[in-house]
Structure 1
Amino acid sequence: MKRCLALAMLFFYIYPILFVGIPVSTRLLYSFIAIILVLYGICCKSSVLAKEYLPVLSILFFIFSLSCLSIFINGTSDFEFIKYPVSIIAILFSAYALVRIFEMMDIPCNFNYIAKLFVSVVFTQCVVAVLMFVIPSFYELMTSMQVISIDEAEKMSSLSEMRIIGFGSQYFGAGITNGLALIILAYLIRVGEYDSTMLKASAMFLFIFAVGIGMARTTFIGFGIALLLLLPCSGLLKFNLALFKRNVMLLLSVSALMSLAFISVYILFPKTIASLTPLFNFALEMFLNYFESGSLTTESTSQLATMYIFPTNIYTYFIGDGLYTVDSGLYYMGTDVGYLRLLFYFGVFGILSFITLQVLMLLTSTQGVPHGNTLFIVILLYILILNFKGFADLASVLALFFTVSVFDKKYSYSEINH
């Protein structure tokens, strides 16, 4: 029962839903709870700012200052990255509240347990998303509960037959989260967390991947990096028999589940296969194009290639143009590439400060966990690759693991001193 409650609470942190009738998102509600907890701690003289927060707050202050400088010099009024540090601080408060509540519920607050809970949350989202895809009335119910603009609702409705729409999770953002879940699940398999339940892990991996590419093909990036984690090597070219055995079990389980699922759907629901054709065409477009024309591309990647537009003014590289979007709401300079959007807003130093923020939280999150260095490298690689496609910010998930790590160190230190 406690795990189910923790799962639900984490769900609304990972997927901040803005419900009808509630003025703020579910994640922001956690921030308000955190403020109360912090004030109570100050009154009781038990709240102390952990030293791990200082580098993060410092880089957020630098981002804020650089953003102010950029819009002042360029004479613009785009406050996107002036608001960003405030947003990250609110997310850190939310993560703090969630971890404190878990602690009160006697939920284990260590990396591996929260990682398994995170994977379960993404799996749950995938189940809900599939139900929304196959049951139109359920889709209407779930979308009617959320505050969604008319334009966004029309866009979601027009795409609902060719791609899977989740509950507060869709498009590129959904692909980022699904891909990260595959990477973390692969890590948990690698360290032996699912040795006794490999079939369960295989089913989750396959399901998140299959539904994930139906939501956003960005999931393929996470899938590819997850496979790197599953290579049976302890180090560079050093074979690991235990990892090899786990991988064989995973491969056999996934193959069996894929075969069983396909045969079951084909026999029991033959008409369903035909209705899923638009979804298959979307999810597997690059492979279909490869077999038809020999080109491993999609409409999205072809469009992305036209978005690599670089500044012609040397000053843009130093201070940016102070613009993230234009008045019409479209991307400034017509580019959706993550690095270029940052470059045009506040220059190269802005890009470096953004990456530094991700690195700081990721580094703290993976310290002291088994194979932490490997996990740090693959998630950092994931972030760096994603930003060649769009603006990919993993701060909300990293803030959770960052907070878990801070709490874990705090109580480990307390136990040593007592």
Structure 2
Amino acid sequence: MVLSTNSQVLLDNSRNEVKPRVWIIAYVLLAFLVSCYFFPFELTFLPKGLNTKIMLAAVGILFLSEHVVRAGAITLDEGLVPAILFAVVFSIFGFLSMEINNSDDASYASYFISFGTWLCASYAVYRWLKIAHQEVTFRIMTNYLVVISVVQCFLALLIDSNVNIKLFVDQYIAQDTVANVEFLTKVKRLYGIGAALDVAGTRFSIVLICLIGVILNLRRTYFSNGTMILYWSAFMVIAIVGNMISRTTTVGVMMAFCYLLCYSNLLRAEVSDSTIRLWRIILMVTAFLVSIAIFLYQVNDDFREQLRFGFEGFFNFVEKGTWTTSSTERLNSVMWIWPEVHDIKTWIIGKAEFDDWHAVGTDIGYCRFIFYNGLLGLVTFSMFFLHNAWTSVRKFPEHQITIFLLLITGFVIWFKVATDIFLIYALLYMIDRQERSEGENRL
């Protein structure tokens, strides 16, 4: 059968239209998989404890097995072996604390399992990204993290404002990786899917700092106005709504903005055209999105309540003249709890108490680590993150300030809550040097 010329043209056009649609679907699926890694959650109809991070780790093991069979060897990042040793030693101190104190709290005695799970899950994410993009760069990784963070912010607003959506999400999604739904509903906190409380705030902070790193790296080369508008719009959405979800996001907002202010060359005597163009976009987008937030504050009671919670310090400063929040007052008054001065054993090896918050009486990270496996554990865990940061700086020298701020973010958040940001370093371990250097300026 012979097609007419017009028919052939129509057929070719239809084929060209299908490919972009397929890739759009593929990118959406990839973003969902990255979200399953970065904001893991459980499904209510699956066994309790089986979250998406564990599922991805299982896939990562399959990918790794396939790689070993094909290559005949395992090639590790040069900094990964010391990281493994730090994780094992930290776990050993936790185990010793359990044995010495006759405790059954294995929170950090099993840290090497969590460490391995993050690594395997990150490898699965890396392999899927590589299949789609042929190369996985710092910017590509950040793009996906930014997209899923923005989606989580809008999803949290939808869940809070629409009862039907909330019921649907609560029916199938268990938020046990961060907190149970009953508690989140009781305290009227916004939540997405696996994104709530300090877990969400910590990860939003990571994303904001990485995003500014990408923006500043782009500023050195040519950037389109459209790209920068999208980036800064995402920054503002995460900064505003992210604080409404978790005020820990403030840590990332402050560090990211200071990073931008200091390294965009705005304060120099001679300001480049690219810097002027960048800040023009920043000011215009900020004014537009803040205006929307002010409008919603005036017309929507729920949004007003959540915004006042997220920026409680700012509202207290304007209305009362003091920058305070209920969280900071509680932290400063009753939360700094340490072992007794003469309790040398607890200071050295801890009491193996972590799961039971009331047994310790504090949520401050430094105190919790001391009570679990003492100074031995705290120092080892700190050295573990110092090593991860140092290895990442050597691997990505153009993002050394970004990585330094990620390290500082972890240590600062420990003043508020015990948290683990290894998930971002696990992704950085997966990215190859050659891929990073060749593809950094691509979308």
- TM-score, structure 1 as length reference: 0.88
How far residue 232 of structure 1 moved from its aligned partner, in angstroms, is 4.3
Match of 1:307 in 2: 335
Q: Structure 2 vs 1, CA of residues 370 and 5 (structure 1 numbering), >3 Å: closer, same or farther?
A: farther
Cα 1:53–1:227 shift into 2, 3 Å: same
Instruction: List structure 1 runs of 4+ shifted beyond 6 angstroms.
Output: 237-240, 410-413
**What is aligned with 1:229?**
259
Selected match of 2:170 from 123, 133, 143: 143
Query: Where does 1:14-25 land on structure 2 (aligned, <5 Å)?
Result: 14-23=38-47, 24-25=50-51
The answer as to 2:223 corresponding to 1:191 is: no
Partner residue of 1:77 out of 104, 123, 127: 104
Is the alpha carbon distance of 1:65 and 1:113 closer, same or farther for their aligned partners in structure 2, counting shifts above 3 Å? same
Asked if residue 330 in structure 1 is aligned to residue 357 in structure 2, the reply is yes
User: Partner amino acid for 1:299?
Assistant: S
Structure 1 counterpart SS, 2:387: helix
Between Structure 1 and Structure 2, whose CA radius of gyration is higher? Answer: 2
- Alpha-carbon deviation of 1:409? 5.0
Tell whether the 8 Å contact from 1:15 to 1:169 is kept in structure 2 after alignment: yes
Of 213-222 and 184-193, more deviation after overlay is shown by 184-193
**For 1:304-383, what aligned pairs fall within 5 Å after superposition?**
304-305=331-332, 306-312=334-340, 313-325=343-355, 329-369=356-396, 371-383=398-410
Question: Residues 40 and 280 from structure 1, CA distance in 2 versus in 1: closer, same or farther, beyond 3 angstroms?
Answer: closer
State, as a whole percentage, how many aligned pairs show the same letter: 24
Q: Residues 203-218 of structure 1: matches in 2 within 5 Å?
A: 203-218=233-248
Question: Partner residue of 2:7?
Answer: none
Equivalent in 306, 312, 315 of residue 288 of structure 1: 315
Distance 1:240 1:368 in 2: 32
Give me the whole-angstrom Cα distance separating, in 2, the residues matched to 1:233 and 1:39.
Answer: 43
Q: 1:130 aligns with which of 157, 160, 163?
A: 157
Native 8 Å contact 2:174 2:180 kept in 1: no
Stretches of structure 1 that go unaligned for 5 or more consecutive residues are 414-418
Quote the Cα distance in structure 2 between the aligned partners of 1:366 and 1:221. 21
CA contact (8 A) 2:138 2:436 kept: no
Structure 2 CA distance, aligned partners of 1:240 and 1:319? Answer: 55
Q: Does the Cα contact within 8 Å between 1:362 and 1:402 map onto a contact in 2?
A: no
1:7 corresponding residue in structure 2:
31
Aligned counterparts of 1:378 and 1:411: Cα–Cα separation in 2 = 20
Report SS of the residue matched to 1:82. Answer: coil
Query: Residues 106, 181 of structure 1: CA spacing in aligned structure 2 closer, same or farther, 3 A cutoff?
Result: closer
- Structure 2: tracts of 5 or more residues without a match: 1-22, 439-443
* Corresponding residue number in structure 2 for 1:171: 197
For the Cα contact (< 8 Å) 1:189–1:195, is it kept in 2? no
Contact 2:142 2:210 in 1 (8 A): yes
Query: What pairs up with 1:99-110 in 2 under 5 angstroms?
Result: 99-110=126-137
Task: Give the equivalent residue in structure 2 for 1:249.
Answer: 281
Of the three residues 154, 164, 184, the one matched with 1:156 is 184
Q: In the TM superposition, what is the alpha-carbon distance from 1:277 to its structure 2 partner?
A: 3.0
Question: How far off its partner does 1:138 sit?
Answer: 0.6
Deviation at 1:186, TM superposition (A): 1.4
Out of 102-111 and 303-312, give the one that drifted further.
Answer: 102-111
Partner-residue secondary structure (3-state), 1:217: coil
CA deviation after TM superposition for structure 1 residue 386, in Å: 0.6
Q: Deviations over 1:144-202 (max 9, x none)?
A: 112357x9222122233xx3221111111111111222111111111117931222122
8 Å contact from structure 1 (residues 164, 211) kept in 2: no
Contact 2:80/2:429 (8 A) holds in 1: no
Q: What does residue 393 of structure 1 align with?
A: 420
Pair 1:317–1:156, CA change in 2 (3 A): same
Compute the displacement of 1:106 (Å): 3.4
* Amino acid across the alignment from 1:247: W
Using the TM superposition, give the Cα deviation of residue 370 of structure 1 relative to its aligned residue in structure 2, in angstroms: 5.5
> TM-score, normalization: structure 2?
0.83
CA shift, 1:221, in A, is 1.0
SS at match of 1:195: coil
